[in-house]
Amino acid sequence: MTPAAKRRKSALAPIALALAFGAGLVASPMLQRALPEAHADDSTLQPQMIDLTALKHADLPETPNPEMHNRPLVNTPNATVALQSGNVAKHIHPKTDEIQYIVEGSGSMWLGNERKEFKPGTLIIIPKGTAHAGTIVADGPVKAIAIKIPPQPKDDVVFLK
């Protein structure tokens, strides 16, 4: 791939992420009415810049899942954005749509009934009820931006066999 093609490709990734996030913010108020129990704690957004590439797996808070670390970045009534690093078993979210943008790492993961390859720059759309995760890492660790629309309730993870 030529350097110019690489620049064009890398320039499209943030645009795709912004469009996906914007679509979620538009759809989320309707989903909030349909799922009133799904909401995040209200917080005020602050202008900031975060160097996601500088944050390493050990810098992110641990989760109940020992292989997954997660740092919340944005928390609104309509959506959440977090930086995730690690792996989690195959599961679904019955109430929450998820969008992931791969920042670092590559491998394959379940998406629906298929294993799909991913690498940095991959945008993954996971509609609610879609099986996903169970990552096999080729180059890692895997770090992703995870957008949840609406914010994910605590009981919205169903692990699959």
Q: Please state whether the predicted TM-score (pTM) of the whole model is above 0.85.
A: no
Give 2-46 pLDDT, tens digit per residue.
766 666 556 655 555 554 555 555 455 544 544 445 444 556 788
Which burial class, exposed, middle or buried, applies to 47 when counting CB atoms under 10 A from its CB (0-12, 13-18, 19+)?
A: exposed
- Please report, for the chain, the start and end positions of each structural domain, with discontinuous segments joined by +: 3-41+52-159
- The answer to whether residue 158 scores a pLDDT higher than 90 is yes
The phi and psi torsions of 76 (rounded to 5 degrees) equal -125, 170
Q: Which CATH class is domain 3-41+52-159?
A: mainly beta
Three-class DSSP labels, 88-122:
CCCEECCCCEEEEEEEEEEEEEEECCEEEEECCCC
The phi and psi torsions of 44 (rounded to 5 degrees) equal -95, 130
